[in-house]
Amino acid sequence: MAQQAKKSKGRKFINIVIWAVGILIIVGGAAVAGLHLYVSNSKPVIEGELAVSILDEDVEVTRDGVGVPHIVAKSDADLYRAQGYVQAQDRLFQMDLARRQASGTLAEVVGESAVNTDKFFRTFSLRHAAEQSWDDYDAQSKQILEWYTEGVNAFIDEVKDTSKLSYEFKLLGYKPEAWTPIDSLTIGKYMAYDLGGNWNQQVFRSWAVQNYTQEQAEELFVEYPENAQSIIEANLNLETDIASAIPTDYLPSEHNGSNNWVVSGELTKSGKPLLADDPHLGLSTPSVWYQMHLQSPEQNVSGVIFAGIPGIILGHNEQIAWGVTNVNPDVQDIYIETPNPENPYQFEYDGEWEEATVRQEPIKVKDGETVDFEVVETRHGPIISNIMLKDTKMKEQFSMQWTALQSTQELKAVLGFNKATDWEEFEVALEDFKAPAQNFVFASTDGTIAYKANGLVPIRKQGTGALPVPGNSSEYGWESYIPFDELPTVINPEEGFIATANNQVVGEEYPYHISNLWAQPYRYERIVEMIKTPMYDEETGELLKLSVAEMKGMQMDKKNLHAQEFLPGLLETIKAQDKDDKYKNVITLLEEWEYYDDKDQGAPLVYHFLIENMEKALFQDAMPEDVYKLMPAKSQITDQMLRDAYAGNPGVWITEEGGLDKFVYTAFEDAVTKIKGKFGTSVSKWKWGSYNQLTFDHPLASASDFLADYVNPEKLPVGGSSVTVQAASEDGSGNVNHGASWRFVADLDNLKSAYHIVGPGQSGHVKSKWYDNQTSNWVYGRYHKTKINGDIDHGYELILKAE
């Protein structure tokens, strides 16, 4: 139910893989010793020499003490070939599943249970968009993709018919196909899907205006579209239940976000800028990120990249550093399409029937018959309604227009970042980064700090993307995009810092619409608070300036500004209702709390259970399960209802729960009852970390208890929450499966190195020493230093020999 909607990306897909592996284990009855032997035999070679025929000259690959590969080549051609080879050594199974999920070809290797997943991603057209994008890439970017592909395929050819092939392929009973440049671009489009969606928000709001009174519906909108009556009426008049027509199993995590900030040399000990970035994504084994250092005569760049893609997307070179957070712009619009009753491939537009484009997408099924499937595209985009069972008799169908389905060339931008030397060169490269839209922060050794909210953001003829719009009229749709030069940009601000945390980045004076739903401001406000709060030496009283240590500490900060805002009022209500001092010890626990979500404290446990109970009490039973999954911004909407109620203006939702006092106290009592049931009656022994457990689940883990013990890193108690800078979002059952997928701090005074955490580890191989060695580092903020000057500690050197 609600907790399932919070699962990290791809949970439906993961369950399908789990099912398939579970069957194989039951049927095969593999012996533990045999499995152990097979798995160990497929560990990649990391020392000595290996012949790689596609290279022009030898390439050095040195893995440092935490498994980060440092690749030094004599040309860019060999650099990218080696990057592809090394990524495949450590992450080939992850790469293969990523391209299959995004392309809609899981059923080929999993079977019938993956057909609906394939239908969904075929309809969302990620691979089709990648193919269109490839056609418009420049020759140099295409060449780099080809070099990278050569490297991946060199490894595949080397291992696919041997016991060196990663054990996951054996469990699922298939071999990887050859890699292609389109595979890399498709994985890039998947990240745009994971980070750039708002279609579910529109579907939910459409359902809400149809099923609730205007007063009820208005409270469920973060911003109700007052001046869009024609759009509201179009949704009120729908005959099709749009929420039931579109599957909800593949929703990206509602917690996707990030923190980044950059401070100028005026505020730092070194006199040079400092930059920090921690993108928040699903936490899994292996990590979504792969950390690398790439060096050739043309570049020297270090950072992270998605496995399956060349270059470095986030990180630094010898002159600059950069990082991102998600802008959360409204870049997907749902259109209410009117099909011709006589021809399901024609749709009304300005009084005429317009032919749709139809793509035949047959889905191959392992051990089954091929499933015929087609994707129908109107002028706006693919029909996404009723993917599971097409009903051509529906009066309305629903299409989606999305910036990422256009031809976009993000890889060209990434390759430009890697070689940029200053803000001007970096900003030129940024113009090609169009989907997903991101908040980029930047710093350079010349002292410049800068920010730009980048990407394609539509300018609409009517409305703001809050609701589906009529697809049968030219009065609706997109006119153009916010011009690149008019996107929010800041360079060397007077206050000496720039920070973003998915918060609102423009004021009322900004002439364009960007989003109907910004993240809550708590992480951003805490970052600013920490930057602005003066620090003094305890012995001398001297004012201290910021250093790397402070940046790390800020990323690990657990102060809960949400509680700081709401708990005083909630406590007054609870104390007034607790006339018999039944909950005196719990109230005292909350009163003494200093608002830090530390794992060893009990107050965060009570507070978060209370907040979740209030959210569920308002909405979970008030709508169907699938609609509840679609509902965006549940926490924000609950917060605003509480603010209004405490200001003397209780809305209809809280009033229907019996009023503010009853609503809050009932949720509090239920929270305490649940905690006692889980953790005992001794309040002094309650700990947030007893519930809040860091989880890096492997896709195969739930196939059996044996596999879970074998492939999952150990769960660890962890502090933080969804509203703290140290983001640790749990799934409703205490599994922290979303947060900082990478932590990064760079000191522009010395870019020969930077500081990183990539949990759970670098390697995707369960027998590698670097498989989960960064799990506890993630909890305690222990960073590793990655150097780019050749001075590598504890190195494991592998020479890839040209033949």
**Residues 674, 611: Cα–Cα separation, whole Å:** 13
Averaged over 36-54, what is the pLDDT? 89
Tokens of 775: 């799990």
For residue 658, pLDDT over 50 is answered with: yes
Between 48-57, 118-127, 136-145, 218-227, the lowest mean confidence (pLDDT) is in 218-227
Q: CA 778: distance to chain centroid?
A: 17
**Residues 448, 433: Cα–Cα separation, whole Å:** 21
Grade residue 428 by pLDDT with cuts at 50, 70 and 90. very high
The runs of H, that is alpha helices, within 289-396 are none
Known binding residue 432? Answer is no
**Strand pairing category for 693-694 and 735-740:** parallel
SS3 of residue 672 by DSSP: helix
**Residues 795, 68: Cα–Cα separation, whole Å:** 10
Do the Cβ atoms of 330 and 205 come closer than 8 Å?
no
pTM listed for this prediction: 0.94
Grade residue 253 by pLDDT with cuts at 50, 70 and 90. confident
Residue-level pLDDT at 4: 38
Residue-level pLDDT at 255: 65
Residue-level pLDDT at 34: 61
Residue with token string 């986030």: 314
Q: CA 777: distance to chain centroid?
A: 21
Tokens of 80: 């990218």
Tokens of 726: 């140290």
Do the Cβ atoms of 66 and 774 come closer than 8 Å?
yes
Do the Cβ atoms of 226 and 232 come closer than 8 Å?
no
Catalytic residue among 166, 184, 258, 741: 258
For residue 197, pLDDT over 90 is answered with: no
Known binding residue 333? Answer is yes
**Amino acid at residue number 386:** N
The DSSP-derived string for 628-657 is HHH---HHHHHHHHHHHHHTT---HHHHHT
682 contacts: CB under 8 Å, gap ≥ 6: none
Residue with token string 């589906």: 468
Grade residue 8 by pLDDT with cuts at 50, 70 and 90. very low
**Strand pairing category for 274-282 and 257-263:** antiparallel
For residue 351, pLDDT over 70 is answered with: yes
Residue-level pLDDT at 20: 53
User: H-helix or E-strand containing 352?
Assistant: strand 352-355
186 contacts: CB under 8 Å, gap ≥ 6: 99, 102, 103, 126, 127, 130
Q: How far is CA 313 from CA 24, 483, 651, in A?
A: 37, 23, 45
Between 129-138, 358-367, 388-397, 627-636, the lowest mean confidence (pLDDT) is in 388-397
Grade residue 656 by pLDDT with cuts at 50, 70 and 90. very high
Tokens of 278: 């921690």
Phi, psi of 537 (to 5 degrees): -65, 130
Averaged over 693-722, what is the pLDDT? 90
**Structure confidence by residue, pLDDT tens digits, 10-40:** 444 445 554 555 545 544 444 455 666 768 8
Residue-level pLDDT at 17: 53
For residue 191, pLDDT over 50 is answered with: yes
For residue 585, pLDDT over 70 is answered with: yes
Tokens of 445: 């050794």
Pick from 762, 772, 695, 767: which is nearest to 728 by CA?
A: 695
Do the Cβ atoms of 69 and 293 come closer than 8 Å?
yes
Residue-level pLDDT at 1: 36
**Strand pairing category for 469-470 and 332-337:** parallel
**Structure confidence by residue, pLDDT tens digits, 311-347:** 999 999 999 999 999 999 999 999 999 999 999 999 9
SS3 of residue 340 by DSSP: strand
Q: How far is CA 356 from CA 323, 344, 363, 383, 769, in A?
A: 40, 9, 21, 10, 53
Tokens of 443: 């710093």
Residue 258 known to be catalytic: yes
SS3 of residue 196 by DSSP: coil
Give strand pairing partners of 740: 280
Between helix 126-135 and helix 181-195 the angle, nearest 10°, is: 120
SS3 of residue 8 by DSSP: coil
**Residues 307, 319: Cα–Cα separation, whole Å:** 25
Residue-level pLDDT at 651: 95
Residue-level pLDDT at 16: 54
For residue 748, pLDDT over 70 is answered with: yes
Pick from 675, 698, 689, 789: which is nearest to 730 by CA?
A: 689
Please give the sequence-ordered ranges of beta strands (E in DSSP) within 678-734, or none if there are none.
693-694, 716-717, 728-730
**What is the chain's mean pLDDT, rounded?**
92
Do the Cβ atoms of 774 and 759 come closer than 8 Å?
yes
SS3 of residue 452 by DSSP: strand
**Residues 345, 694: Cα–Cα separation, whole Å:** 49
With vertex at residue 248, the alpha carbon angle to CA 246 and CA 249, rounded to the nearest 5 degrees, is: 130
For residue 746, pLDDT over 50 is answered with: yes
Averaged over 548-560, what is the pLDDT? 98
With vertex at residue 163, the alpha carbon angle to CA 160 and CA 169, rounded to the nearest 5 degrees, is: 60
**Amino acid at residue number 622:** A
Ramachandran area for residue 484 (φ above 0: left; ψ -120 to 50: alpha; else beta)? alpha
Residue-level pLDDT at 699: 86
- Tally the residues of the chain: 803
Residue-level pLDDT at 178: 98
Do the Cβ atoms of 732 and 612 come closer than 8 Å?
yes
Residue-level pLDDT at 414: 98
158 DSSP 8-state letter: H
Q: CA 6: distance to chain centroid?
A: 12
Averaged over 686-693, what is the pLDDT? 98
**Structure confidence by residue, pLDDT tens digits, 51-94:** 999 999 999 999 999 999 999 999 999 999 999 999 999 999 99
**Residues 13, 252: Cα–Cα separation, whole Å:** 12
Residue 350 burial (10 A CB sphere; 0-12, 13-18, 19+): exposed
Do the Cβ atoms of 308 and 411 come closer than 8 Å?
no
For residue 161, pLDDT over 70 is answered with: yes
